[in-house]
Amino acid sequence: MNESEIKSTQAQWRYRGKQRPPFALIPSERQESVWDYPRPPAVEDSNATVIVRANNVAIVAQSSRAKRVLETASPPTWYIPAADVNWAYLESSNESSFCEWKGKASYFALASGGQPVAWVYPAPRAEFAELAGYVAFYPARVACFVNNERVRPQPSEFYGGWITDNIVGPFKGDAGTSGW
């Protein structure tokens, strides 16, 4: 995508975290609403313990130095430092995608085969340079945990948000959300 196409795609988003839409759930005192997250997304450091397991057993990644990407309408996507990933469990995939905010992503599958379970931005757009050297995982394809809580996956096959008890939606990816 050229810069003009990227700006056009970015401008299509209806909600930008400035005001909750009427259908948004109201968070309790200990919860966060995805409708309060900004667009463009924000990156936040976290010292929560994040664990990713393959086949609910093998530890693929474990860190207390992760980053959360917070974007309107989506549960946080967690990025783990590459140094905290056990690369013996992963192999490069031929798949790629492009995010209008972060840039081109490359994917990784489990070494045992199957669809991609993780992605990286090898050369993220300047605004997200801090994600270089970090790996995100799909909680629908591997078991992901935040502070020992099993994460629920964001709806859809494409999105990689991590839903925990302290996050409320509704979330992009549910049926009827393509216009958000």
Quick: pLDDT tens for 121-172. 999 999 999 999 999 999 999 999 999 999 999 998 889 999 999 999 999 9
- The Cα-based distances of 70 to 21, 66, 90 in angstroms read 17, 13, 26
pLDDT of residue 14: 67
In this structure, which topology does domain 34-168 adopt according to CATH?
2.170.150
**Of 143, 177, 147, 178, the residue nearest 165 (C-alpha):** 147
Domain boundaries, the chain: 34-168
Radius of gyration (Cα) for the chain, nearest Å? 16
pLDDT higher than threshold 70 for residue 16: no
pLDDT of residue 39: 86
pLDDT of residue 60: 98
CB atoms within 10 A of CB 38: 12
- The Cα-based distances of 155 to 50, 80, 108, 176 in angstroms read 20, 21, 20, 12
Q: Output 152 or 13, whichever has higher pLDDT.
A: 152
pLDDT higher than threshold 80 for residue 8: no
| C-beta of residue 125 within 8 angstroms of C-beta of residue 114 | no
pTM of the full structure: 0.91
pLDDT higher than threshold 70 for residue 11: no
User: Model confidence over 23-62: pLDDT tens digits?
Assistant: 999 999 999 999 999 988 999 999 999 999 998 789 999 9
- Which H or E run includes 4? helix 3-11
- Which H or E run includes 74? strand 74-81
